[in-house]
Structure formats: C-alpha cells, structure tokens
Amino acid sequence: MSLDAQGRETTIEQEATIGLSQGQVIWKRFKKHKLAVISIFVLATTIILAFTSVGIVIGGNGQLVVDKETLLLRPDGWYIKGWWQWDWFTVGAKDLVNGAPTWNHPFGQDDIGRDIFARVMRGMQQSLLVTFIVGFLSTAIGVVLGSLAGYYRKWTDSVIMRVADIILIVPVLVLGAVLGRSVGGGALFLAIMLGLVAWPGLARLVRGEFLSLREREFVDAAVVSGASARHIIFKHILPNSIGVIVVNTTLLMSAAILIETSLSFLGFGITPPDVSLGQIINEYQTAFQTRPWLFWYPGLFIILIALCINFIGDGLRDAFDPRQRRDDFTKEGFFKSLFGGKKIEADHDEVIVGTTQRENI
Amino acid sequence: MKPSRLVAGTAAIAGAALVLTGCTPPYQYEVIEGTEIHVAWNDILDNFNGSSAAGNNVANSIALYMTGSGWNYYDGSPELIKSPEFGSYEKTSDDPLTVKYTINNNVKWSDGVEVDEADMLLAFITGFGYFNSTDADGATTYLFPHANPRPELVSTLPEFSDHTLTLVYDKPYVDWELQFAVGNVAAHATVMLAYPEITDPEEAKTKFIEAVQNKDVSFLTPVAQAWNSAFQQTDTPSNPLVSLSYGPYIVDELKADQYVALKANPDYNWGPSPKYEKIFIHQYTGATAFSSSLTALENGEIQIASGQPTPDILQIAQGISTANVFSGDEATYEHVDLTFNNGGVFDPAYWGGDAAKALAVRKAFLTTIPRQTIVNELIKPLNPNAEVRESFLVIPGGPGYDTIKAEAGSANYPVAGDVEAAKKILADAGITERIEVKFWYPLGNARRASQYEFIAQNAALAGFDLVSTAEPNWEFTDTEMWPINPHDAVLFAWASTSLAISGSDQMFGTDKPSNFGGYKNSEVDSLLATLEVTTDAAEQQRLQLEVEKLLWADAYGTVIFQFPGLTVASKDLSGVEPGPLAPYYFWNFWEWAPVATAQ
Amino acid sequence: MFLFVARRTVATLMVLIVASFFVYVLTAYSGDPLQELRLDTTPAGIAKMNHAIEVLNLNTPPVLRYFTWLPGAMGCLIGQCDLGISLAKGEFPVTMLLGQAMGSTLQLITLASVLAIILGVAVGMTTALRQYSGYDYTVTFFTFVIYSLPVFWVAVLLKQYGAVELNKFIENPDIPIWLIIVLSIFMGFVVQAVLGGERRQRLISVAFGAVGTMVVLGFLTFTRWTTSPSIGIVGVALISFALAAIVLAASVGFSQKVPTMIMLGVAAFSTAMWYPVWYLLEVNQEQGFLWLLGVIIVFALVGWALGWFFGGEDRKSYSKLAAILGALTILPHLFNLFFVRWDNYKRLIQIKNGVIPTFGSETAGLNGDTWMGAFDVLLHMVLPTVALLLVSFAGYTRYSRASLLEVMNQDYVRTARAKGLSERKVITRHAFRNAMIPIATIVALDIGGLIGGAVITEDIFGWSGMGALFALGLRVVDVNLVMGFFLVSGVAIVIFNVVADLIYSALDPRIRVS
C-alpha cells in the first residue's frame, strides 16, 4: 500500500485505476474479458447485417399488400429495400428440388422457394427488436420502481412490490396467448407488452440494493447537506448499483429472445406472413433430418445473439464489480490439495503473494 | 412382446377354427396369443359412454369402436358397409319412414348378458331425446344429456320385441342409415350403476323397460345420472359394469393421459375376428405430437402413427426403412367463400344494385384463384395424389362426386387460375377500375398465409387489390359479434365427420347459421329442403348435382383441396388401410395382423 | 417472525385474488372456445356448441363470470375446492385433473432439479476456483451456449442422439479404436483442466484421464457390455470405492489417514453387502420401496458408526460424511437390481434397439415386478430429465460461480487464509458454506416456479404434467383449466418467495425479515 497525493491510503486496486473516470475504469476492466469484447463486435456486425441486408419495414400491419406499380406483393407500410438480392416474402422457383443451399441462395430455400437467408435476416430483425425493447423498457420501469420502493420504503414499497408480485405470478404465456391471438402478433407490440411485464425481477434487485445502500454514510451525508430525494436517488445511490442493473438487463435480454421463441413454438408469437427466428425454427423443427439448413441456420443465429448478449453481460459484471480481479489465487490447485495437504500449507504464503502480485497486471 | 420376435402366426390360428355360429360365414377365432400392437392417437379414452355430451369426441369413439359393434361402418373408401353378423336393419316403409332393427341372438355383453331390445331402447330414448321438457322460454331440456338428441325425427316410442326394434320416423330423413346405433353402454349396466341394490341383469332390464313404457321419470332420473357420469373414467374403472364391451376388444387397462390397453374379447364371434391379442392406444398430444410419434415409431415404441404432414414429416416417414407410408385425403377441405351482403365488391349493392356486375366480379375473382398452383406447391409435397377438389357437397370419391365434377360447372373456373379470362369477364361487364377485396384467412397459419400470397399475386394481375384482413380469432364466425361478415372473401376449411348429407343447408341455406357470406337463393333452399327428406340414394345425388350447379353459377365461392393426411405403419404389421373419416385408420383394426418374420 | 409470515400471508392472498382476476379475464379474451365447434355444421356440432355454452356459462361476460368462479376457488381455503370442470378434458373436475398432473410433474422435476443443483454447483464452484483458466472459459462458453438454446431445439436433438442413436449404440456398442484413442486423449485434457496444478501434476492428470477413459471404453466395446449390462460384486465394489474417492476428494482430501480408512471401510461394507442386499430386495418386492429405504438407513447408520468409532477428534464431521457415503453406496446395488432384469425388460418392451424411450412416462402394459417398473420409469425420465437439466444446470453454474467468487474476495476468507488454514479448509469450511446462501434462495425460488411444470419439455416428451395441462388449456381457451393451473403455480411461487426470504434470513444472520 502507498499514500496518494492527499496522503490517504490507497489499495492496490485503486492504484491501477488512479486518474481514470468510472467509464474508463469499467472499459479497462471490460477489455480484459476477451470473449465479451469479441461478442460486442459480433453482435454489432449481426445487427448491421440483419438491418441492411433485406431492408426494413416501418409501420404497416405486418401483412402483404399489392404494390400498385409493379403489381407484386410487398409488406404493408414503408418498405426500404436492402442490398440482398432476395426478400423474405416473395415465393419463387426453387434452384434445387428440395431447396438446398446454392450459391444463389446460400442458406437454401423453403417449400415455396423463399430465400432462407432473407427470412433469417428478417427474423433476426424482429428478434433483436424484441430483445432490445424488452431490455430497455423493463430496465427503465424496473429501475424507477425499484428505486422508489427501496428509497421511500413503507407503503410505496408495499404497493410497488405487491404489483410486482401480481405481474410475477401471471404466466407470461397467458399474456402471450392474449397478444398472439387478439393483436395478431406484431413484433413491436409483442416486445412492448413483454417489456411491460418483465420488470419485477429487476425492480426487486434494485430495491434490495437501495435498501442496503441508503443506510450507508454517503447517503446520510447527502441528506444532511440538503440534497433532494431525486438527486440522492439518481446521483448517489443509482450509480452504485449500476453493475447489478446492467447485468440483469443483459440476462433479461437473452431471456427475451428465448421467450419470443417459446411463444412462437406454442403458436402465440409473431405470425406469418411476418417472420421471427422462433417462428422459423418452430415451423421447421421437423426439418432437422431432412432439410437441415432450415433447422440449423435460424437456431444458430438465436444462439449467436443470446450468446453474445450473455458474454457481454458477463464482461460487464466483471467490469462493474470492483472486488473482482483477474486473480488466480488457487492456481496451485485442487490437484495438489488432494494429495499433498501438507505441502500446500507450506506453499500458502507464496500463493497469497502470488495473487497480490498479479493484481497489478 | 416385440412383433419381430413372433412365432409364425399361422400355427396359432389353427386351433381356433371350429367355432361355428348360425351366421355366414363360419366364425374363425384368429387372435394370435401373445401379440400386441401399439398405436398413437392425440387423445385417449376418458368416457365409456361416447353418446353423452361429455363423452362425445373422436378419441372416445375410436376406443369404443373397438369395444362395440354396429349394423354398419365406414370403410376406407369411404363407403358404408353393413355388418350382417351383428344384425340387420331394413326400411320397411317409405311413408312413414319405418326402419326395423334386429340384433342377432349370439351378440353378448362381456359379462354374458345378451345385447337386446333393452339396449336398443336405451339408445332410442337417449339419441332421440324421448324424455324432454320445454320450459317457458322455449328451451328444451333432456333427461339424458345426449350429445345430439333428435326428438323431431321420432317422437313415438318404437315397437320392440325379442332382439328387434322398429323406428317410425315422423318425416322422411336423409341420413336415416346413420342415425341409430346401440351405443356403448348396456341398459342393465346403467340401471345397476344407478341402483346398486339391483344385482340381476334381467331384473334391471325388465325394470328399465317398464319404466320407459310407463314414463316413470322418477325411476329413470338416477339412471340418467348414471348414464351421464358413471362412465366418465380417467383410469381403469373399478366397477366392471362401466367397461362392458360387445365388440372385438375389451378395455383392459386405462391410464390417464398415457394409454388405453384393449384385449381381445374371447366371446366375440359376431364379426370378423381380430388378430392381435392386445391393442394399446397411446396418447401423443401437443404441438409436436406427430413428429414425436414418428420418432417413437422409428424407435419401435409404437407401430402406427398418423397426423397432418409437413414436407419434412413426410420425408422422415419415408426415410423410416421399417415403415409403410400411406398418404391420403382427410375429410376436411379448404375453400374460399365470398360475401354477398356486406356492401363489398361482391355485393350487388356496391355496384348500385347491378347483380350482373357483382356476379361478373365474383366470377372474375374466382377465375384468378390458382387452385392448381396451390395444390401443386403446398399439398402435392404432402400427398402426391392430391387433386383440386371440385365439389361443395361431396367428398372426392364419395357417391356422385365424379358426376358433379363433370357436370356442375366448376370447369368454368379453370384450376390453373386464368388471369386473362378474368380480365375479359371484367371488361365484358364494363369494369375498368381496380377492385379492392378484403380477404380474411386465419392468422397464424403458415399454409394459409402462403395460399393468400398465391391468390393475392394472381388476383393483382387481373385487377384485384387484395387487402389482408387476417386475424386469428375467426371473429366473423361469431354471428353475435358480426351479424354480417365484414370480409369480402374468407379462406378456411370445413370439417366433415361423416358422409351424412344433412347439414349442407347450414352453409348454403338462406340465413342459416353457417352461411357467413349471406348467400341467398330460394331455389337452393328448396332443393336442400327436399334433400333433407329424401331417402333414395339416386334422387339424393340428383338433388346434390342441382344444388352444385346453382352454387357454381352464382359464383358462391370455390373449393381448393382436401387436407392431406398421413398414416405411417410399421412393416411389422399388415392390413393398415387408412380412411378419411372417423375412426380414420382404425376402421379395419380387425385386419391388422402381425407379419411373421424369419426366425 | 410470526408477524412477518402473517402479514405476508394476507398480502399474498390479495395478490393472488387480483392476479387471478387478470388471468381469468385475459384467458377468456384470448380466444374463442367455440371456434372449432363453429365449423361443424351438422346438427351434432350445433348441439355440442350449445352444450359448451351452457356448461361454461359462456353467455355471461368474462368479468362477471369470474365472480362465479371465485367462490369455488375461495373454498380451497377451507378445504372445499371447486374449480369447475374442464370441457377440454372430458368434463372432469379441474381439481382432479390438477391432482394427476401435479403428481406427474413432481416426479419429473424432482430428479432433474436435484441433479441440476448438484452438478451446477459443483461445476460452477470449480470454475470459480480456476477463474479465467482454460477450463473456466470452456465451461463458461458451453454453459452460455446451453443457456441460449431453445429447449425444443434441444429436444429434437436429444430424441435423435439421446434415444434413437444411443439405442443403436446400446445394441451394437462398437467404438472404432481411433475414436477410443481420440476420446481418451480428450478426456485426459479435460481432467487436467479441471484439476489444474503444475506441469508435472497436469501430466499425471492427463495420463490418469486418458488411461481411465481408454479402459472404460475398451471394456464397453470389447465385452459388448451395453447389450446386456451387469454389475455384480465387482461392479458394486468399483462403484462403491469410486464414490468413496469422490466424497473424500470433495471434502477432506486423501492426505489424512483416518478419514481415508473410514471411507474405505464404508465402501468395503457396501461391497460385502452385495449379496444380502440383492437377496433382501428380490425377496421382499411387495414392500420393495420400504425395504429399500430400510437398507439405505442401515447403510447410512453403519457409515455413521464407522465414522463415530474410528473418527478420533473429528468424529462429528467424519461420521456425517461416512453416513452420506453409506447412503450413496446404495446406488450400485440398485443398478445391480435393474441390470439383472435387463434382458427380460428388453423382451417385454416395444423398442427395437436399446431401451431408451422417447415419449411418455411409462411402458404400457409392462408386466414386470416392482424393480422392473422402477427401472422403466427411470428410463422414461432420461430424456426429459436431461432436457430440463441442461436448462437449469447452466443457470446454477453461473450463479454458484459468481457466488463463490464474491465470497472468495471477502475479508473473512482472507482472515481464514491469514491464520494459516489450508486452501482446502478455507474453501470447504468457510467459502463454500457462505457461497451456498444465495444459491439456497435461488433454489427455493426455482422450485416454486418448477411446480408449474415445464410447458415445452412436457409437451415434447409426452409427460402429462402441469405444463401440458396449461398448454392445452391455453390452446383451446379452457379458462377453468388455465385457472386451475394458475392457482397451483401462483400459490407455489408466492409461498416459495416467502420461503426464500426466510431461508435467507435463517442462513445469513445479517438479514432480518420484518
């Protein structure tokens, strides 16, 4: 340990981060998680690919309409074409009888000659939309309500937590069924509804954080110095629980993509003619042995998205947790401890020294 | 025991060849000891009374088909076949329609009690709602909660004597051959379940008959309760009276949501002998039921599976080297109906009351529908033999279908979907503007979404702009919500459950509940009304042809295809021959036989 | 404490009533229960529709209909449940259907949960101990992959490779020699990655892992063991001693003589009991499971006694460990009992190759004895259990890894190290127990959720439990069925929520419920 400029003791962890803003510190830590960094790039690439390749539809009711000029079908709403030569809705001739992948259609074609790459890309758009909207909405609601409950406690807490309980025990599938059947499953609407009911878990966590943080000295100090409740919540307490929030959000997002898939499986999700990854998988789950390209590509992209989000979450968790270090304090091993108990005791000091040294890397 | 390890079947049959009865041909007991077969269905038995409102469903009817007998059944064609070994029925008079039913003397319930007039009487008072009362609001309540009581057909108590019963209809009835069956519950069993103190079956029968004759409702009320609820069982019933059988099989074991095990009825000799000693019907349900059952079939867990195929499922089925694949039609058929009364483009009101213009628009639209493309792209991959259906009333292969196909006028709507012809029809009618059609299909169904695409694309070329009003709830079928169908055209399927002719008026008759398009044609109405009371088969077919001609001429709508069905059976057994109507592939279960493999 | 529970109970009731109202109305508006019936235009179809309208009271708007349902449900508080009848399930009372479904669901989830917790915690904690090692990265990667898999996607693969192909292998266990060699080398690397250590130790690990795998696989393929597996006294001995080694490795290690000898003693006892146990369980099939329980207790008692009398100073902890080991060593005996029946069982079932079924929860009409029945049920549980296991295993791995990492950074762990405790003791005595506190609460919450069944897993593997009931109810808009499901699952969730809070406060003295 050493003394910093003001003569306070600093720990070794602090030394590694002196002179950096919180964001820089977190980014510095995050960068160490290689899989997380790779995941960010992969996810970004995927998003760009999904939204540029087959174009986007803004507005519209998810149905197909006749284009007045070409007399061909196109999606309802404002449809901007992408750079990929095929779209996800036009039926056409199949290059090969079974629709197997060709140079022309790298992911193959379905029963009526639609391009699977285009369908998977469109499906990804929808799944990503669901993922991010659910993540954003539920985080916003969960943080606000969780903060209020944890900060004000008493009846505010009771009311919010009971509402959370109610939402928690209403099965998601019931909501999905109502949505799927009464609205006809637009991705946006589905995402918003899922987002509106996915917050209770996060609200609980945030509340828990608040309950313990608001007892800390720095909050007392802020209260004494006359800070408003809003100031205390958003400037003092919330930044301290950002780690929990970020991690939970990523978990929720990867869960959302799977929930969308499950809903589609049970017939309650996004419906044809629009496409979601879950719906494609569901429709072609029996294609596993016969037309594997229909089974594997959409599934692999779901896994890819969920995997990236999970890794990013894992990286963020490590980055936000100041106590986490890349220490290999037990590298000496389980193995040794199995067969040479005495030796490990002798090595013990060395082990600890080893860990402290590594912290400076 | 695994079929593959069977001893050659013929040896076992030999010893049982000598049971002779009064009927032709001599009955041969052909059940092979130690054989069993496992089949998959989406639900299993949960009610031993398949006639009650609670028990009337396909799953029950299948198991009960094997534990019961009847005067006739549908074969795979489907054609109605009589069963003289069980008994006979004959129309003794046309006016009033009188039918005499006889059951042979050797037919017995599995507890040894004869199946006779008491059982027929029970079937009568339940199926014809003999005991009913009408309250002030005009609502009729029935003593026995039968699924479909028909008091308007026969209102007088029939004559009956030893093993016979004679029904006298109030008016002629087109489906008289299908209307009456003994059902699955024994009169004595029902009475003994209602009155446990009665232990003698004959006494029970006598009391029951007397009560019916004397209209002793107080005696019959507990009987009706027993009839309704005592037969509801999810597991093997503890009281053997519940599971009495008078068919080739007896329910041996019932395991809720898992399987029902049937074993051969040793006393059965009033029909062809089954070959398997045991039949297990397994419940395969849920979203993946069919593919699950195919995996199970490949794994050897079951021997027969069926369902609606996808191209992949068909290919998987064909890839199972140990199985035979049967592609065929189901009774359900896809069709497009147009709406005549909603002020839309198919309604004369839209054209200022010009009926000819509206007719031209309807004809033009129907002409564009590429029915053959739809069948080729969506159905042929599932059923190589699929064809475009050409009749509203008759299932392909059914009586009179070929005549209707040839003569009714469907040829005016080319199956390929003729854009040029449609343009010409519109031009001839003096219509030049583009026409917007509100088109509904059930949202969430991929096959229908694809059909919509084909239809919309072709129609667009001829001048129709289809606007999808698809929603998943079939709201227009709820006539309280939508007294008038808001959509101009609807695409869905009608399910046929039998070859019954009555019921067509529901779809085509003026103001009938299932006539969602508001179609009105008094000629059709009177033809259908005549059809309802026509008992002669040739005359029935003539009337149906007339109706069809009018429907096509009025451009009522169009029919596209029969739903494809797929049945997959292990090569370990022979005799499977799926049919399109309930009980589907079970109809000839007695012909299922193990294929002996080389040892 | 009492006040806490009482207050929560009242709040819970209110929550349930409000939520049930929402679920009721939402379900009722989710679709048209008569949709199928509307398309049957025959007189029979129309009669059916009228019947459904009458039975389900469909002419009453759902909001009002809820209040005809509520009194029956409130009856549950005084033991007189009336949840109506289910039209979709043959008009049976919903309470009866729920009873059947719950039994089936509990049977399925219990084993899956226990296995998921044990494996998840074990893997999660070992990855935490080797944080950022190749092992950690590999496990992290695969758990995330598993975590990202749609369950029905997994199910398709499981049925193909876990049943159809595996069955073919069981019937014909030929592993090419090159594959044996590749697998052995691979396993060697896995073993060293898990155990870690210095280069020399790692080499030893590789050797052990590779040779062990080679022996096992070679044995499988050359004796064609899977075609007619048996355990016998040799198998019982091998497995018992292996279990002893595992228990030792997970607790005190092999370095101390006393516990090692005690564990060896327990294993030896189990081996010696091979014939008596077999005989007892074969003869007393009538109350087979009671006898089995008795044997387990005897085994545990013997273990405990060995620990107590030879344990010396540490007798308390050794006797506990030995008792656990004793109970565990019943496993080889049980499998011995099952495998004896293997050939007979295969003759009785329909499956052509092997024994692993893809659907359902038991073999229909299996005329076997008690143990064959138990074996049959276990085999039917293999695939759905693996599917459920995969899903929750991933979660537990992550949680326990995070939890142990958190704890390892705590001051009291440093203190423990500083006072000179061995790393093993630091982990087993201090870190592990504290790391388990949050896991315990997560387990409680999970169990609450699991009672609602696994909708998709049950659907795919033909397990007619709560999830299947719920899915059916939703599909055909059977409100009573959905509400029955909701009541059970909702009550379970809220109860286990409270339980989780209580566990937390019981295990962690810093937290008080109020």
Burial B393-424 (b: 16+ CB within 10 A, else e): bbbbebbbbebbbeebebeebbbebbbebbbe
As given in the structure block, the two tokens for residue C135 are 């092992």
Instruction: List, as one string, the DSSP characters of B36-51.
Output: EEEEEESS---BS-TT
Mean pLDDT (chain A) is 76
Asked if C151 and C457 touch (Cβ cutoff 8 Å), the reply is yes
Residue A237: CB atoms within 10 A of its CB come to 22
Largest CA distance in chain A: 85
Looking at residue C146, its pLDDT comes to 83
Query: Which backbone phi and psi does C482 adopt, to 5 degrees?
Result: -60, -40
Task: Determine how β-strand B80-82 pairs with β-strand B72-74.
Answer: antiparallel
Looking at residue A167, its pLDDT comes to 87
Q: What is the pLDDT of residues B455-479, one digit of tens each?
A: 999 999 999 999 888 887 788 887 7
As given in the structure block, the two tokens for residue B141 are 């309540």
Answer whether CATH 1.10.260.40 is correct for domain A34-324. Answer: no
Looking at residue C270, its pLDDT comes to 93
As a whole number, mean pLDDT of residues A333-339 equals 38
Asked if B489 and B438 touch (Cβ cutoff 8 Å), the reply is yes
CA–CA distances in Å: residue A138 to residues A203, A251, A262, B472: 9, 12, 19, 28
CB contact under 8 A, A73 and B456: yes
Which of C16, C23, C253 minimises the CB distance to A337? C253
Asked if A280 and A123 touch (Cβ cutoff 8 Å), the reply is yes
Alpha carbon of B250: minimum distance to chain C alpha carbons (Å) = 14
In C196-231, which residue ranges form alpha helices assigned H by DSSP?
199-223
Looking at residue C380, its pLDDT comes to 92
Looking at residue B250, its pLDDT comes to 95
Which of B2, B252, B292 minimises the CB distance to C462? B292
Q: Which residue of B has its CA nearest to A271?
A: B444
Task: Determine how β-strand B32-41 pairs with β-strand B276-283.
Answer: parallel
Q: Which residues of C touch B516 (CB under 8 A)?
A: none
Of the ranges A102-111, B224-233, C377-386, C493-502, which one carries the lowest mean pLDDT score? C493-502
Query: Has residue B599 got a pLDDT over 80?
Result: no
Percent of chain B residues topping a pLDDT of 70: 95
Q: Which residues of A touch C486 (CB under 8 A)?
A: 169-171, 174
CB contact under 8 A, C358 and B280: no
Domain boundaries along the sequence of chain A:
34-324, 331-361
CA-wise closest residue to C323 among C270, C359, C275: C270
Looking at residue B522, its pLDDT comes to 93
Those of residues 250-269 in B touching chain C at CB distance below 8 A are: 252-253, 255-259, 261
Q: Does B506 touch chain C (CB under 8 A)?
A: yes
Looking at residue A242, its pLDDT comes to 78
Q: Which residue of A has its CA nearest to B295?
A: A286
For residues C144 and B172, the model is more confident at: B172
Residues 6 or more apart whose Cβ sits within 8 Å of residue C411: none
CA-wise closest residue to C35 among B475, B514, B482: B475
Angle CA(B179)–CA(B185)–CA(B190) in degrees, nearest 5?
Answer: 125
Alpha carbon of C391: minimum distance to chain A alpha carbons (Å) = 12
Q: Does B140 touch chain C (CB under 8 A)?
A: no
Of the ranges A318-327, B420-429, B467-476, C321-330, which one carries the lowest mean pLDDT score? A318-327
Interface test with A, best of C423, C478, C495 (most A CBs within 10 A): C423
Looking at residue A349, its pLDDT comes to 25
Q: Which residues of C touch B60 (CB under 8 A)?
A: 90
As given in the structure block, the two tokens for residue B571 are 């090569």
Which of C29, C150, C474 minimises the CB distance to A281? C150
Looking at residue A184, its pLDDT comes to 52
Helix/strand/coil for C334: helix
Q: What is the pLDDT of residues B269-281, one digit of tens each?
A: 999 999 999 999 9
Asked if A142 and A199 touch (Cβ cutoff 8 Å), the reply is yes
Alpha carbon of B448: minimum distance to chain A alpha carbons (Å) = 9
CB contact under 8 A, C365 and B288: no
Q: Which residues of B touch C358 (CB under 8 A)?
A: 292, 295-296, 299, 301
Query: Has residue A336 got a pLDDT over 90?
Result: no
Looking at residue A348, its pLDDT comes to 26
Cα separation of C3 and C17, whole Å? Answer: 21
Angle CA(A201)–CA(A203)–CA(A207) in degrees, nearest 5?
Answer: 120
Looking at residue C508, its pLDDT comes to 67
Asked if B125 and B156 touch (Cβ cutoff 8 Å), the reply is no
Which of B55, B285, B299 minimises the CB distance to C352? B299
CB contact under 8 A, C365 and B299: no
Alpha carbon of A75: minimum distance to chain B alpha carbons (Å) = 11
Cα separation of A73 and B459, whole Å? Answer: 11
Q: Alpha carbon A240 to chain centroid distance?
A: 21
pLDDT band at B559 (very low <50, low <70, confident <90, very high): very high
Query: What pTM, to 2 d.p., does this model score?
Result: 0.84
Alpha carbon of A28: minimum distance to chain C alpha carbons (Å) = 17
CA-wise closest residue to C450 among C102, C8, C94: C102
For residues C423 and B15, the model is more confident at: C423
Looking at residue C361, its pLDDT comes to 85
- Asked if omega into B78 is within 30° of 0 (cis), the reply is yes
Q: Does B295 touch chain C (CB under 8 A)?
A: yes
Q: What is the pLDDT of residues A264-280, one digit of tens each?
A: 777 777 777 788 888 88
Sign of the four-CA dihedral B19, B21, B26, B29: negative
Cα separation of B340 and B359, whole Å? Answer: 10
Q: What is the pLDDT of residues B59-103, one digit of tens each?
A: 899 999 999 999 999 888 778 899 999 999 999 998 899 999 999
CB contact under 8 A, C471 and B286: yes
Helix/strand/coil for B74: strand
Q: Could you tell me if residue C172 is left (phi over 0), alpha (psi between -120 and 50 degrees) or otherwise beta?
A: beta
Sole residue written with tokens 């070994």: B85
CB contact under 8 A, B284 and C348: no
In chain A, which residue ranges form alpha helices assigned H by DSSP?
12-17, 22-31, 34-53, 116-152, 154-169, 172-182, 187-197, 200-213, 217-224, 229-231, 242-265, 277-283, 292-320, 333-339, 341-358
Query: Has residue B354 got a pLDDT over 60?
Result: yes
Asked if B57 and B43 touch (Cβ cutoff 8 Å), the reply is yes
Cα separation of C74 and C79, whole Å? Answer: 9
**Residue C370 half-sphere exposure toward CB, CA atoms < 13 A:** 14
Instruction: List, as one string, the DSSP characters of C278-326.
Output: HHHHHHT-TTHHHHHHHHHHHHHHHHHHHHHHH-GGGHHHHHHHHHHHH
Looking at residue B390, its pLDDT comes to 92
Asked if A344 and C423 touch (Cβ cutoff 8 Å), the reply is yes
Asked if C431 and C60 touch (Cβ cutoff 8 Å), the reply is no
Q: Which residues of B touch C40 (CB under 8 A)?
A: 495, 497
Q: Alpha carbon A205 to chain centroid distance?
A: 17
CB contact under 8 A, A174 and C493: no
Alpha carbon of C488: minimum distance to chain B alpha carbons (Å) = 20
CA–CA distances in Å: residue B344 to residues A67, B347, B348, B512, C142: 21, 5, 8, 20, 58
Q: Alpha carbon C282 to chain centroid distance?
A: 27
DSSP code of A359?
T
Looking at residue B19, its pLDDT comes to 40
Alpha carbon of A72: minimum distance to chain C alpha carbons (Å) = 33
Query: Has residue B2 got a pLDDT over 60?
Result: no
Residues in chain A, how many?
A: 361
Looking at residue A16, its pLDDT comes to 56
Q: Which residue of B has its CA nearest to C157?
A: B295
**Residue C260 half-sphere exposure toward CB, CA atoms < 13 A:** 8
CB contact under 8 A, C460 and B293: no
Q: Which residues of C touch B293 (CB under 8 A)?
A: 359
Amino acid at C420: G
Cα separation of C428 and C253, whole Å? Answer: 11
Cα separation of B222 and B216, whole Å? Answer: 11
CA-wise closest residue to B394 among B471, B522, B503: B503
Instruction: List, as one string, the DSSP characters of B127-196.
Output: HTT-SEEE-TTS-EEESS-BSS--TTT--SPPEEETTEEEEE-SS--TTHHHH----S--HHHHHHHH-T
DSSP code of B536?
-
Which of B54, B475, B503 minimises the CB distance to C42? B503
Residue A4 burial class via C-beta count within 10 angstroms: exposed 0-12, middle 13-18, buried 19 and up: exposed
CA-wise closest residue to C56 among C44, C69, C40: C69
The set of chains that have 3 or more CB pairs under 8 A with B is A, C
pLDDT band at B158 (very low <50, low <70, confident <90, very high): very high
Number of A–B residue contacts, CB under 8 Å? 97
Q: Which residue of B has its CA nearest to C160?
A: B295
Query: Has residue B8 got a pLDDT over 80?
Result: no
For B398-461, where are the E strands, in sequence order?
435-440
Q: Which residues of A touch B368 (CB under 8 A)?
A: none
Sole residue written with tokens 């369950």: C151
Of the ranges B35-39, B195-199, C168-172, C422-426, which one carries the lowest mean pLDDT score? C422-426
Q: Does C493 touch chain A (CB under 8 A)?
A: yes
Cα separation of C514 and C505, whole Å? Answer: 10
Q: Which residues of B touch C89 (CB under 8 A)?
A: 46
Looking at residue A43, its pLDDT comes to 94
CA-based Rg of chain C, rounded to a whole angstrom? 27
Amino acid at B269: N
DSSP code of B495?
P
Query: Has residue B498 got a pLDDT over 80?
Result: no
Number of B–C residue contacts, CB under 8 Å? 177
CA-wise closest residue to C145 among C393, C381, C457: C393
Q: Which residues of chain C have pLDDT under 50?
A: 514
Q: Does B444 touch chain C (CB under 8 A)?
A: no
The set of chains that have 3 or more CB pairs under 8 A with C is A, B
Q: Domains of chain B by range and CATH?
A: 187-230 (no CATH), 331-562 (3.10.105.10)
pLDDT band at B598 (very low <50, low <70, confident <90, very high): very low
Looking at residue A14, its pLDDT comes to 53
Alpha carbon of A144: minimum distance to chain C alpha carbons (Å) = 21
Query: Which backbone phi and psi does C510 adopt, to 5 degrees?
Result: -75, -20
